[in-house]
Structure 1
Amino acid sequence: MEERKQAVNRNYKDSVFVDLFSEDKKAKENFLSLYNALHSTHLDTVSVLTPLRLEQVMYMSFYNDVSYLVDNKMIILAEHQSTINPNMPIRCLEYVVRLYERILDAQERYARSLIKIPTPEFYVFYNGQEEYSTETVLHLSDAFMTKPERLPLELEVKVLNINKNKAHTILHHCKPLEEYSTFVEIVRRNIERDKEYGFENAIKECIQNGILKEYLQRKSKEVINMLIAEYDYATDIAVQRAEERKIAYTEGKSLGLVEGSHQKALQTAKMMLTMGYPLGDICKIVELSKEEVESLQ
């Protein structure tokens, strides 16, 4: 697998999701279908869409954002393939401020009349394997240290679970998203069976079954590169944690500090519990068992 990964272009930083809805030649059509599904509208021309994109904003320079101006709204989409990040409202706040800075003239901000700005909407599409509700809303105010009766600032991020087993209604109204969800399942299944040729096998299976057929026939090589980049992105963090754990264990063993490291992990886990992090996320980050973390509650 490693030799084959080195043989392909490693410079891809977009995901297949971003390419489908933001970069591909049919991205505007796909996004319009998604927008109509989200708003129960019937916009039928891509001319109403104005793409927006910020570079160098995502972790490890891996971009998973899709942004458009449409119908006096600023639609910001993101994708999560593992666990939902409870800090998405904070990240979206930073992101939307930079977008407003980009689209507004600096002089207009000091005008005597009120400036009208596009209404922002934030969505996360979750397709990870951990259990998650069909639909939920994350609030920026959940992160506030104190909560006054009247919130001075709020931001909501709607999270939609697009795994097929959740049968979210949006999949019935947006064919590109429904086919993408199926594509993810097929890729996941094939890579579990065959780590070396799983991506190629998944693409062949999708084409045979009419899943993103035209897109995959046209861009199969690029899609493989993007899948490998996504695979690297997901595994890089795990590799880093494994290396850090090995170093900590080696140093701790020689200095008699292994127990100290364990206590530090327990303290970190306890703090994350008080901050509302999901149990699964805590276990992964601090490398403790579910039972150990639950005992801290």
Structure 2
Amino acid sequence: MEKEITITDNFMFATVMKDESVCRPFLERMLEISIEKIVYLEREKDLRVDPYSKGIRLDVHVKDSTRVFCLEMQCLDRKDLPLRTRYYQSLQDISFLDKGNVYVDLPETYILFVCLFDMFGKGIPVYTFENSCVEDRGILLNDKCHKVFYNVKAWEKETNPERRSLLKYFHDKKAEDDLTRCMQEQVIHNLNLREWRKEHMTIEQEIKLQARYAYDDGKAEGLSQGAHEKAVETARSAIAMGLSVEQIVKLTGLSDEEIEKLKVTVQQ
């Protein structure tokens, strides 16, 4: 059975957010700020320092006149998001600070992760991080960096009704106001576009191919501990993509029992 594609699919999320009439009010609601005009908006934005460094691919990259916003949909808890935000921030800064510029030219940056899980386990709908002094938390570093993690599982605890509506939409896929209905209409529209589905299928095939390469590399290492970890990571991605247990067994070499256990943790 073909996997149902919803707003929480990374590629679908990026496509819907590509529309400024959706992206701008989305950011305003989620961050409780005002944005006069978006001057740059790109889906699947690639950032890297040089050809030999690790690059990143942002779901959505947005700029207004003074700020930068990086949007990511995160379905699986890979336990590395704090370090990913650190790396994302560093690449953002390098991309903006050309030779001859001064540090005050760095824009205010927001890195946002919409998570389908509770990353910190505290049952809070929004976790916002800014740098402050350890000895006196009232002293902010004012480095214009904001990292925000949204926990859609805790949507009922959100007190801001507009943000609550968005978190609820990501949680149960039910559109209940103008913005979420507009987003859902775009989801349906994209699903009916042959070219969009073809592009989505191509991306999934690339993910499967990369996963297969990772598994083959692991087998060559004699199924060491590292190889097993690669297989588990591949299985998690395959589960999130909706592959069957039988398909994942063939892809990773893991047992049915291991995959069933992984499904429980992925779907929590």
1:41 & 1:80 partners in 2: Cα distance? 23
Report if aligned partners of 2:117, 2:152 keep a CA contact under 8 Å in 1. no
Taking structure 1 as reference, are residues 152 and 161 closer, same or farther at Cα in structure 2, changes over 3 Å only? Answer: closer
Shift of 1:230: 4.8
RMSD between aligned residues: 5.3
Whether 2:207 is the aligned partner of 1:213: answer: no
Taking structure 1 as reference, are residues 129 and 100 closer, same or farther at Cα in structure 2, changes over 3 Å only? Answer: same
State the SS of the aligned residue for 2:192.
helix
1:42 & 1:153 partners in 2: Cα distance? 20
Whether 2:59 is the aligned partner of 1:65: answer: yes
Report if aligned partners of 2:13, 2:73 keep a CA contact under 8 Å in 1. yes
Whether 2:12 is the aligned partner of 1:40: answer: no
Amino acid at match of 1:216: I
Whether 2:8 is the aligned partner of 1:17: answer: no
1:171 & 1:81 partners in 2: Cα distance? 23
Shift of 1:235: 3.6
List gaps (5 residues or longer) in structure 2: 3-9, 175-180, 238-253, 262-268
* Identical amino acids, percent of aligned pairs: 10
List gaps (5 residues or longer) in structure 1: 3-13, 142-147, 186-208, 253-257, 270-279, 291-297
1:157 aligns with 147
Amino acid at match of 2:22: N
Shift of 1:119: 1.3
Give per-residue Cα distances to partners, 1:179-231, cap 9 Å, x unaligned: 56555x9xxxxxxxxxxxxxxxxxxxxxxx98722553366224423442453
Could you tell me the TM-score, scaled by structure 2's length? 0.54
Query: Radius of gyration: which is bigger?
Result: 1
State the SS of the aligned residue for 2:47.
coil
Whether 2:73 is the aligned partner of 1:79: answer: yes
Report if aligned partners of 2:111, 2:147 keep a CA contact under 8 Å in 1. yes
Whether 2:20 is the aligned partner of 1:28: answer: yes
Taking structure 1 as reference, are residues 219 and 117 closer, same or farther at Cα in structure 2, changes over 3 Å only? Answer: same
State the SS of the aligned residue for 1:95.
helix
Shift of 1:115: 4.1
Amino acid at match of 1:92: Y
Report if aligned partners of 2:12, 2:187 keep a CA contact under 8 Å in 1. no
Higher percent of residues as helix: 1
Amino acid at match of 1:244: D
Give per-residue Cα distances to partners, 1:47-94, cap 9 Å, x unaligned: x11115584338998843322223632222222222243321232123
The aligned length equals: 212
2:248 aligns with none
Taking structure 1 as reference, are residues 89 and 173 closer, same or farther at Cα in structure 2, changes over 3 Å only? Answer: same
Could you tell me the TM-score, scaled by structure 1's length? 0.50
2:95 & 2:45 partners in 1: Cα distance? 11
1:158 & 1:228 partners in 2: Cα distance? 30
